[in-house]
Amino acid sequence: MTNRSLGVRRAALLASSVAMLGLLAGCGGDGTASAPPTESGTAASATGTATPSDSGTGSGVPTDAVSNSLTPSASPSPAGGTRCHTSELSASVGRNDPGAGQENFPVVLTNESSRTCTLHGYPGTAFVDASGKQLGPDPERSATEPETVKLAPGQSAWAGLSFANPEVSGAGTATPAALLVTPPDEEDPLKVTWKAGKVPVSGNESSVRLIPFSPGTGA
């Protein structure tokens, strides 16, 4: 009786072992179950932080005074929401400081508001005739690294605007009615009556150049 019971138990254990071997064989030859597949693009990274997709926020730069003030691709003002808005500023053009065949003018923005605000980068500038049509090509920006200029109420910042004297360079000229000045990252320009005579508008030496804002009036 006892021998018969032991035989039945051994048979049951053998059958169980055979079944377990079959299960392991189905999970992989090395006994390790493979990981379930995941759908491409749906899994988070190992750190639990999803990888952001391309935002697709490209920025075209139009060729007018407004666009010259906008920073392409991306170069947002580090001052963020503290930047000066067009409605808070007045614009003027300072006295010419000529030298070495160059005409050099400070383009000045003054904070007329009751709060402190900031400017970072270059103004948009364009010479225009009496009908508002732009004269000459868009200005070229220098490689100077811009700084953020903080303007308390009543304070000013200036950006340098320069071009070769047309009598020296031989460039084609026109006499603008005004200079449109657009603060950095703004869309609305300020109009300043131009009183400094002819400017280059065509030919190889017609480029107008800009340097970024610095504190003061440039006087």
- The domain segmentation of the chain, as residue ranges, is 65-215
> Residue 155 has what pLDDT?
97
- The whole model's pTM is what? 0.64
Measured at the alpha carbon of residue 138, what is the angle toward residues 136 and 144, in degrees to the nearest 5? 135
Task: Identify which of 213, 64, 60, 212 has the alpha carbon closest to the alpha carbon of residue 138.
Answer: 64
> Is the domain defined by 65-215 classed in CATH 3.90.320?
no
> Residue 44 has what pLDDT?
30
> Residue 113 has what pLDDT?
96
- Spatial distance between the Cα atoms of 205 and 96, rounded to a whole number of angstroms: 19
What residues are paired with 158 via a beta bridge? 108, 214
pLDDT by residue, tens only, the chain of 219 residues: 444 443 444 444 444 443 443 433 334 444 444 444 433 333 333 323 332 333 333 333 334 444 444 433 334 444 446 999 999 999 999 999 999 899 999 999 999 999 999 999 999 999 999 999 999 999 999 988 999 999 999 999 999 999 999 888 989 999 999 999 999 999 999 999 999 999 999 988 889 999 999 999 988
